[in-house]
Amino acid sequence: MKIIVTGGAGFIGSNFIFHMLKYHPEDKIICIDKLTYAGNLATLKQLIADEKISFFKLDICDRERIYALFERERPDIVVNFAAESHVDRSIDNPGIFLFTNTLGTGVLLDACMKYGIKRYHQVSTDEVYGDLPLDRPDMFFTESSPIKTSSPYSASKAGADMLVQAYHRTYKLPVSISRCSNNYGPYHFPEKLIPLMIINALHDKPLPVYGQGINVRDWLYVEDHCRAIDMIIHDDDCVGEVFNIGGHNEMRNIDIVKLICSELGKPESLIHFVTDRKGHDLRYAIDPTKIYLRLGWRPETRFADGIRKTIKWYLENESWWRPLVKITTA
């Protein structure tokens, strides 16, 4: 099969490409990425050089060029990772998030309608559900939880989800959606919490933590996420369905930062509390029962193991992140 992976030079998209090449070497992978600040072609350089994947620098909002690519390649599956994804950036500049995340999704859906596909899969986020109270650990997001966005980023992703579901209902386009908790692992852009803390700690720089660091996130190792998407797109019974993908690894931000300090042998005195983010969601927690029961998927990586693997990767791959550090830590 031919699979178009949009946003494939980004964090989760590139990990998904590595996963697919490992477990489905017979498939042809076509990677699309606009190569904005978070898209790093160095991640895929060797795959492109070895002709294991095809790469096209392309904006998913560019209807003419997207149509031309679909006309030429005739993909069977489209997996859309392409997105502006940093909440702080969405607060500063909402427009680009609406344009890429919502309107870009619409262009891809139109292309799928025009040229025909076996499956369109939308990679969404648990942030479309808003947040949960810190004092209710018994509460979790399910697929039937109401959409209640808190930031321009999450609103733009929710808008994309609604478009995907509308195209399925109106045009019978074969679609699926996954909403995942926070990912971590290799190739994570250094502006995000875990890689930023690792790299700053390595340089004995301040570790900026919003508020008092009590906000809670559910963390999932990126390979577990990729495996879940692989299972969804290869199961015909998943057409029209939404799946929550969570790790049952809830952690306070401050505890993650302290754990990173401990693993790297750095003092907690590096931690520096900063003014909290506007509209900062308190807690995300996903109930992944549906994907457990329907597909038998389970997260395989415990957070304690995953964070050590992630720290080890950043220690051993300085050549990947070094050119990016000046963007976020200078």
Burial (CB < 10 A; 0-12, 13-18, 19+), residue 275, is: exposed
Please measure the distance between the N-terminal and C-terminal CA atoms of the chain and give it in whole angstroms. Answer: 44
β-pair partners for 55: 31
Pairwise CA distance, residues 84 & 189, whole Å: 12
**Catalytic site includes residue 250:** no
**Active-site option among 127, 223, 224, 281:** 127
**Integer angstrom CA distances of residue 15 from 116, 144, 246:** 26, 28, 17
Q: Report which DSSP code applies to 174.
A: -
Element (DSSP H or E) covering residue 180: strand 175-180
Return the exposure string of 83-118: e unless at least 16 CB atoms fall within 10 Å of the residue's CB, then b: bbbbbebbeeebeebbebbbbbbbbbbbbbeebebb
**Active-site option among 126, 131, 223, 281:** 126
**Catalytic site includes residue 23:** no
**Active-site option among 129, 153, 184, 284:** 153
Q: In 172-239, which residue ranges form alpha helices assigned H by DSSP?
A: 193-202, 222-233
User: Cα dihedral sign for 171, 231, 228, 187?
Assistant: negative
**Catalytic site includes residue 64:** no
Q: How many other β-carbons are positioned within 10 Å of the β-carbon of residue 208?
A: 17
User: Cα dihedral sign for 169, 171, 175, 178?
Assistant: negative
Give the catalytic positions in this structure.
126-127, 153
